[in-house]
Amino acid sequence: MIRPFVRLSSAVALVALFVPVFHAAAQQQVPPAPDPSAQQAPAAPGQPSAPAPSAAPTFPKTDPANFTAASPTRDTVNAFLNANWGFDENRMFQVQAILKTPVENVSKVVVLIGDRTGKEKPSAFAFFVLPDGKHVITGDSIITFGEHPFADIRQQLQQSADGPYRGSAAKDLELVEFADFQCPHCKEAQANMDKLVADFPKARIVFQNYPIAAIHPASVQAAAYGLCVTKLGSSSAFFQYAAAVFDGQDGLATADGATLTLNSAIIKAGLDPAKVSACAAAPEIKASVDASFKLGTDVGINQVPTLVINGREVPANIPYETLKKIVEFQAKLDGVAGQ
């Protein structure tokens, strides 16, 4: 049996691995599930509630009896947690158990987490490692696992992210923004994107269309026009167009307004609206928009704006200093020097 330390709460989801402890606004295709972290699990019978700490917690010594599964190893779990949390100098954690389960080759991992500043109560969570050793189940989510959990998505985007880009042609540090032109949170994220371009001149920063047509009908046309602006002009022309579309985003709410907004953006990018409109009517342009959306779905995008940093997905509109810290950490983790 695992020795008690804090209340073991299934309410603490491993999804928190992917972002700091805050909630960035985002546009989702479906309503989000209730946030389990907002709920407090009751203490175990006979076990008092843990008082709010005033200093970094001291984790209990691990018990070898709690490590009954052959895999994953503790080193692998630690590498996985560091890949996700290492950017946060205040986060501390300890692998408390890696247990066999009744299901062959499915292991249960229990991790204790704490805050070095003492501002947060220590807590614990569990997740299940699947037989392939590359995925875990936590709550209602399946996420990638391993010492290099973002490597597969990084490779997939290096091969398939074909949107207009700013910065370097090299893909050593590739930041892929999945966005919808009609999404207000995507508009808010553009300030972050511009700062990243300035702070990471050696990065390749890609704009990848992810129009959510069900709630943003004009976003599909805006995406198609953007592809044609790139095709008839350049990546530089695209980002002029994109900035103008986001600035005039309110105009996309009606059909007439969308026409005026998009044509104005095309003119600001130095192109002819009639030529762009004719280009956008071509079947291959629609196919390209659909392919970009499918790429996002294939790599697990379910809300916008999402920024994928060498395979690591984070909300693009989180506070900039945190976003910058994650980019710097991921570059260091991947051995990308001089960024």
pLDDT at residue 272 in the model: 98
Q: CATH 3.40.30.10 spans which residues of the chain? A: 152-333
**pLDDT of the chain along its 339 residues, tens only?**
444 333 333 233 344 444 333 445 776 654 344 443 444 444 444 444 555 556 888 999 999 999 999 999 999 999 999 999 999 999 999 999 999 999 999 999 999 999 999 888 899 999 999 999 999 999 888 999 999 999 999 999 999 999 999 999 999 999 999 999 999 999 999 999 999 999 999 999 999 999 999 999 999 999 999 999 999 999 999 999 999 999 999 999 999 999 999 999 999 999 999 999 999 999 999 999 999 999 999 999 989 999 999 999 999 999 999 999 999 999 999 999 766
pLDDT at residue 41 in the model: 42
**Cα(74)–Cα(15) distance, rounded to whole angstroms?**
20
**Cα(225)–Cα(190) distance, rounded to whole angstroms?**
19
pLDDT at residue 140 in the model: 87
- Report residue 315 as tokens: 């909300």
In CATH, the number for domain 152-333 is: 3.40.30.10
pLDDT at residue 52 in the model: 54
**Cα(17)–Cα(38) distance, rounded to whole angstroms?**
16
Cβ burial 94-128 (10 Å sphere, 16+ → b, else e) = bbbbbbeeeeeeebbbbbbbbbeeeebbbbbbbbb
pLDDT at residue 44 in the model: 44
DSSP string, 105-153: T-EEEEEEEEETTS-S--EEEEEEE-TTSSEEEETTEEEE-SSSTTHHH
**Cα(110)–Cα(125) distance, rounded to whole angstroms?**
6
